[in-house]
Structure 1
Amino acid sequence: MRCNDARQLTTTVPREYVHRSSLAEVFLTGCERTGQDTFTLTGQWPRAHTFFTSADGTGHDPVQAGETVRQVGLYLCHAVYGVPLGHNVLLWSLDFTTRPEHLRIGRGPSDLTMNALCTDFGWKGNRFSGYLSVDIHRNGELAARGTARFSCVAPATYRRLRGDRGRLALTRPLPRRTPVPAHTTGRLLPFDVVLAPTDHPGRWQLNPDLDHPILFEHANDHHPGMVLVEAARQAASALHAPATFTPAAIATEFHHYAELDAPCWIDATLTAPGHVAITGHQENRTIFRSTVTATTT
């Protein structure tokens, strides 16, 4: 029963649907189905997010577009396609491109309209998989677009996939080291830096603070995919330091879990002006590959 007769106003979607613990980290506010596998969603980016804001405070961080695409996929899986809330998500790819001129922070929160297309969304045995495309509009203009490829598995299946490694890694994660200077990574605070220095130019160690309220917003037995995306962005920026590197697009493929209890090395190579190839390695395996595209000043 409702508490009063006031008409229902804007609120976020349930935080459980987008795998967030805090309501402040939910960027979606609504959804309407426009076709068999097409949807129009609404959302909002806050003006002064503690993490997804440019270092100078004037713009939304482009990685926020990637996080928004991730939330759209999770929401549609659970709220529309019937994936149980307890299922684990395996992210295979996440690509997003932004238009920096439409990411500038205005006087009010940034209201969003998103068009989503779900391709091959469905169950194959006990695994749900799909490919998602999302266009993000702000003030009637295309601000970003992204895609994601993923699978969802039951908790028992996830435990079999992880074996003992994830459980053991939680008990013995690597200690936090002194990070590289925040300004070299495009970040304002050392707390937000996920890279530690090494003796090799163009190489860093993945070393986020495991108590970070955004990157580790809920418990994980590995480094989440968005941490790896953030590492790619920071490494591309650090490669260009002291010049400023402003990312506009990141394309990432995920191959293996990044474990908490072993060094993961992040290598950055400039392939062309404004284009950086990032590779994450751990225990002689390629964990992920990213291409970061940007403008330099």
Structure 2
Amino acid sequence: MLQTPAPSDIVDTEHLSRLTTTAPREYVHRAALAEVFLTAEWSRTDEAHFTLSAQWPRTHAFFAPLGRTHYDPMMAAETIRQVGALLAHAGFGVPLGHQFLMWELNYRVVPGALSVGETPADLRLDVYCSDIRRRGGRLTGLAYEVVISENGRTLATGDARYTCTSPEVYRRLRADRLDAPPTASAPPTAPVEPRTVGRVDDFDVVLTPAGRPDRWRLRVDTRHPVLFDHPGDHIPGMVLLEAARQAVHSLAPEGQVVMPTAMDSTFHRYAEFGSPCVIGTEPAVNYPGSSERLVRVIGRQDGELLFTAITAVTALPTRN
């Protein structure tokens, strides 16, 4: 005999439909659910305009709060990267398994708006897509702009551009690298002193000394669970952005906590495993009247330009 369920056993399906869940990890090209910043809430206004949601945790295993008070701007960069992947799959029908090549990723944050609050930051992302490229009805490339806000207050803006290709085409392009995956057991090179690049642990350092205060080698440790969230045939772009951030931080006065408030990054080719990558810094032209310092970070591999990142850096603001 069936019993009538008690009131506490009745499921409020209308309420459940409004509960927040993360976006599918496959849609943002992450293996760990903990590394997914986007939620499953998104809508489309028209062909080119989307509204998405995201959440930044109050702390993170790698993107820890700067000075324990402000969100790491690199979380904005990673959020913008994830937006492009989700739009491709959920908005433009790109099948899972397709490969993406990021050509540009830029961000700018509002330092005073990045204070960590008493709860995680629930964010609204307004996205505008441009330069939508298709071949045979399938997306092959996209450029997009993102405005990240919380309760109507803008925290960050950014934009990115990428191309995507089918597994078959990618295999033809990268067959030699796919058939010879990186050796995970290869020991990483020696790290610089963590505190000089804004880190606490050797494990999180991506720079190796190269005998000059403005030159380093990229330090690659595929065991890192955030930077190398899943196996791949090349070094992820976010590792290069972290190298740029750490290089710029090393130029700050000792003991000063600095914030990378903006970064304009261009990727020129794949960063390959097994070949040294040289990271260097040089002054860039500052904005007139700006308190930020601009530094150009350049990465080279096998004598060729790998990436450039013009980074604006300023002292950590006072918590408001």
- TM-score by length of structure 2 reads 0.87
Which of 126, 149, 167 pairs up with 1:137? Answer: 149
Give the superposition deviation at 1:188.
2.5
Structure 1 counterpart of 2:226: 214
Equivalent positions of 1:190-209 (< 5 A) are 190-209=202-221
Give the superposition deviation at 1:171.
3.6
Give the superposition deviation at 1:181.
1.3
Structure 2, unpaired ranges of 5+: 1-9, 287-291
Write out per-residue CA displacement over residues 139-198 of structure 1, whole angstroms, 9 at most, x where no aligned residue: 321100110000110112112222313542514885312211111112232211111111
In 1, the alpha carbon distance for the partners of 2:203 and 2:185 equals 17
Structure 2 counterpart of 1:95: 106
In 1, the alpha carbon distance for the partners of 2:66 and 2:113 equals 17
Residue pair 2:59, 2:65 contacting (<8 A) in 1 also: no
Q: What one-letter code is carried by the residue in structure 2 that aligns with 1:124? A: R
Q: Against the structure 1 CA distance between its residues 144 and 55, is the aligned structure 2 distance closer, same or farther, given a 3 Å change threshold? A: closer
> Helix, strand or coil: the match of 1:177?
coil
Give the superposition deviation at 1:22.
1.3
Structure 1 counterpart of 2:62: 51
1:117 aligns with 2:128: yes
Equivalent positions of 1:27-66 (< 5 A) are 27-29=37-39, 30-66=41-77
Residue pair 1:32, 1:39 contacting (<8 A) in 2 also: yes
In 2, the alpha carbon distance for the partners of 1:127 and 1:73 equals 12
1:292 aligns with 2:311: yes
Write out per-residue CA displacement over residues 101-148 of structure 1, whole angstroms, 9 at most, x where no aligned residue: 111111100000010001122313576101010000023211001100
Which of 60, 70, 74 pairs up with 2:85? Answer: 74
In 2, the alpha carbon distance for the partners of 1:158 and 1:10 equals 35
Tell me which moved more, 68-77 or 161-170.
Answer: 161-170
Structure 1, unpaired ranges of 5+: none
Residue pair 1:184, 1:241 contacting (<8 A) in 2 also: no
Q: Against the structure 1 CA distance between its residues 25 and 210, is the aligned structure 2 distance closer, same or farther, given a 3 Å change threshold? A: same
Q: Give the number of equivalent residue pairs.
A: 295
Larger radius of gyration between Structure 1 and Structure 2 = 2
Structure 2 counterpart of 1:267: 280
Residue pair 1:167, 1:221 contacting (<8 A) in 2 also: no
Q: What one-letter code is carried by the residue in structure 2 that aligns with 1:218? A: H
- TM-score by length of structure 1 reads 0.94
What is the aligned-residue identity percentage?
Answer: 44
Which of 127, 147, 154 pairs up with 2:159? Answer: 147
In 1, the alpha carbon distance for the partners of 2:111 and 2:199 equals 17
In 1, the alpha carbon distance for the partners of 2:199 and 2:57 equals 18
Give the superposition deviation at 1:36.
2.3
Which of 277, 283, 295 pairs up with 2:302? Answer: 283
In 2, the alpha carbon distance for the partners of 1:231 and 1:42 equals 28
Write out per-residue CA displacement over residues 2-40 of structure 1, whole angstroms, 9 at most, x where no aligned residue: x95542211111111101111111111110112221011
Q: What one-letter code is carried by the residue in structure 2 that aligns with 1:286? A: L
Residue pair 1:15, 1:23 contacting (<8 A) in 2 also: yes
Q: What one-letter code is carried by the residue in structure 2 that aligns with 1:160? A: R
> Helix, strand or coil: the match of 2:168?
helix
